[in-house]
Amino acid sequence: MKIHTTSKFKPVLGRISKFDRGIGSVERLREPSSLEPYERYRPQIKTGDVIAFSGNEGFSKLIRWATGSMFSHVGIVLNSNLSGELGGSVLIVESTVETRVRDATNSDVIKGVQLHWLSKRILMYDGGVWWVPLKQPLPPDGLAKMQSWLRQTNNQRVRYDYVQVMGAGLDMFEGLGISNRTSLSMLFCSELVTKALQTAGVVDSALNPSEQTPNDVVEFSCFDAGLPLKYA
């Protein structure tokens, strides 16, 4: 299957190549512990930005094959303004099948919606990671609605949707006139992110969240080109 390298991410791939030819070749020797790209961009990362992943493990490879994309997963940023030394903390809400670590609330995780520290997620991830920033910050009312919906969804421990994730990715189903119906009782990654952005009012509410892939999400018009946080 042909892998999509979209025009939006061509500049990103160019930055990676340039980075590798210089300082980046040194940085790669220190992975997976290096968080320097993340620390550089961290002050600019805001609620509603997307984090895109390109995984090397089996299920991630399956998603990449099914969607014909370099991206296997997406999550959405949820900043938490904590007092004390931590200051503003960057969290990510995602729906994933990974259950190896406890979440940011120190709770056992399910295969489904989870809340994690972004820095820890980057360090532990086997693959490439990109920050995909919103062109404009979310409007205050949309921000509040989205934050509330994400926290509620996480608290409800919504399970991962294995069935619809494949239906969203396989174009051959569309050729047969088969498509996913909108259903949010379970959520896969890009379905969660799409619905969150619709709740915030920056993605068309008529769009079917259950038909969106990780690649579809990073191509939403509300986003700028992505920037690399970690190399595969």
pLDDT-above-70 percentage for the chain = 75
- Higher pLDDT: 31 or 17? It is 31
Closest by CA position to 110, among listed 121, 122, 98: 98
151: pLDDT confidence band, cut at 50, 70 and 90? very high
Ramachandran quadrant class, 32 (left: phi over 0; alpha: psi -120 to 50; beta: rest): alpha
Q: How many beta carbons lie within 10 A of that of residue 190, not counting itself? A: 30
Structure tokens at 112: 């489904």
What is the reported pLDDT for 144? 96
Q: Which segment of 60-64, 97-101, 179-183, 217-221 scores lowest on mean pLDDT?
A: 179-183
pTM, full prediction: 0.81
Q: Which segment of 9-13, 57-61, 76-80, 220-224 scores lowest on mean pLDDT?
A: 9-13
What is the reported pLDDT for 184? 86
Judged against a pLDDT cut of 80, whether residue 153 lies above it is answered with yes
Nearest-angstrom CA–CA distance, 64 and 197? 23
What is the reported pLDDT for 169? 55
Q: Which segment of 24-38, 45-59, 85-99 scores lowest on mean pLDDT?
A: 24-38
Q: Which segment of 45-49, 96-100, 111-115, 137-141 scores lowest on mean pLDDT?
A: 96-100
216: pLDDT confidence band, cut at 50, 70 and 90? very high
What is the reported pLDDT for 29? 43
89: pLDDT confidence band, cut at 50, 70 and 90? confident
- Higher pLDDT: 89 or 95? It is 95
CB 53 within 8 A of CB 60: yes
Judged against a pLDDT cut of 80, whether residue 202 lies above it is answered with yes
Write the DSSP assignment of the chain as a string of letters. Answer: -PPB--GGGHHHHHHHHHHHHTHHHHHGGGTTS--HHHHHHGGG--TT-EEEEEE-SHHHHHHHHHHTBS--EEEEEEEEE--STT-EEEEEEEEES--SS--TTSPPP-SEEEEEEHHHHHHH-SEEEEEE-BSSPPPHHHHHHHHHHHHHHHHTTPBB-HHHHHHHH-HHHHHTT--PPP--SSB-HHHHHHHHHHHHTSS-TTS-GGG--HHHHHTSTTB---EEEE--
